[in-house]
Amino acid sequence: MTEQNFSSMRTAMVESQLRTSDVDDVRVIAAMAKLPREDYVPVERRAMAYIDRPVPLGGGRALNPPLVVGRLLTEAQVAPGDKVLLIGAATGYSAALLTALGAQVIAVEEEGGPDFAATTIVRGPLNAGSPDGAPYDLLFIDGAVEEVPATLVQQLVDGGRVVTGIVERGVTRLCSGRAVAGVLGLSSLADIEMIVLPGFAAPERFVF
């Protein structure tokens, strides 16, 4: 696969996956059109870099499809100088895009997860976040979870923004919202195929 082929694939991704599916932030489109996604997938899977499906990374993890990342970034409304807590950094693709948009990124990934270059990376449980760096303007969960834990919500500034996927009855949904006075309110935006992050199972509810 030549660099010219990757460039053509990147252009096709922008035109056929992003622009046709509510990724309408020109800054997001420009960043995704410029960043070589093939550099953020395993070498043996570089040919899959621009497909509209998750890219397996091994160990039960995968990289979200480009459309998911584009939609999350669009809904996040990243402003230069934003302090972002990125959960599920994987190979660093979303971290690089957030940085390109002017954010200061604290990226959280599991112990033994993929290596990547980022401004700051924290190794540990995804659901613990990075309280040492709090408060954050934006919580960016790069995947779907059954529930956003209070431990992450509490690391946001009052009025802090959240973008994530939520798993409901086996369906993954793109959601966004804000945390006000420690309470998170989320709105469902669209059903979309996303990776599901480990460690975010909702607690069992007592049923009478």
pLDDT tens-digit map of 47-79? 999 999 999 988 888 999 999 999 999 999 999
pLDDT given for residue 120 in this prediction: 77
Flag the least confident range among 8-12, 101-105, 110-114: 110-114
CA distance 78 to 161: 10
Q: Residue 113 corresponds to which tokens in the numbers above?
A: 């997860």
Contact criterion met (CB below 8 Å) for 89 and 69: no
CA distance 25 to 95: 17
> How is 161-208 classified by DSSP, letter by letter?
EEEEEEEETTEEEEEEEEEETTEEEEEEEEE----B-TT-PPPPPP--
Mean pLDDT, range 166-182, rounded to an integer: 95
pLDDT given for residue 22 in this prediction: 87
pLDDT given for residue 118 in this prediction: 55
pLDDT given for residue 58 in this prediction: 82
pLDDT per residue as tens digits for the range 104-121: 999 999 876 666 665 678
Residue 151: closest CA among 185, 183, 128, 119: 128
Mean pLDDT, range 7-30, rounded to an integer: 94
pLDDT per residue as tens digits for the range 136-149: 999 999 999 999 99
pLDDT given for residue 114 in this prediction: 60
Mean pLDDT, range 120-129, rounded to an integer: 91
3-state SS class at 1: coil
Q: Check pLDDT > 60 for residue 207.
A: no
What's the whole-model pTM score?
A: 0.92
For 170, residues 6+ apart whose C-beta sits below 8 A from its C-beta are none
CA distance 64 to 163: 14
pLDDT given for residue 6 in this prediction: 93
> How is 22-41 classified by DSSP, letter by letter?
T---HHHHHHHHHS-GGGGS
Domains present along the chain, CATH in parentheses: 3-191 (3.40.50.150)
The H or E element containing residue 151 is helix 150-153
HSE at residue 167, side-chain half, CA atoms within 13 A, is 16
Q: Check pLDDT > 60 for residue 208.
A: no
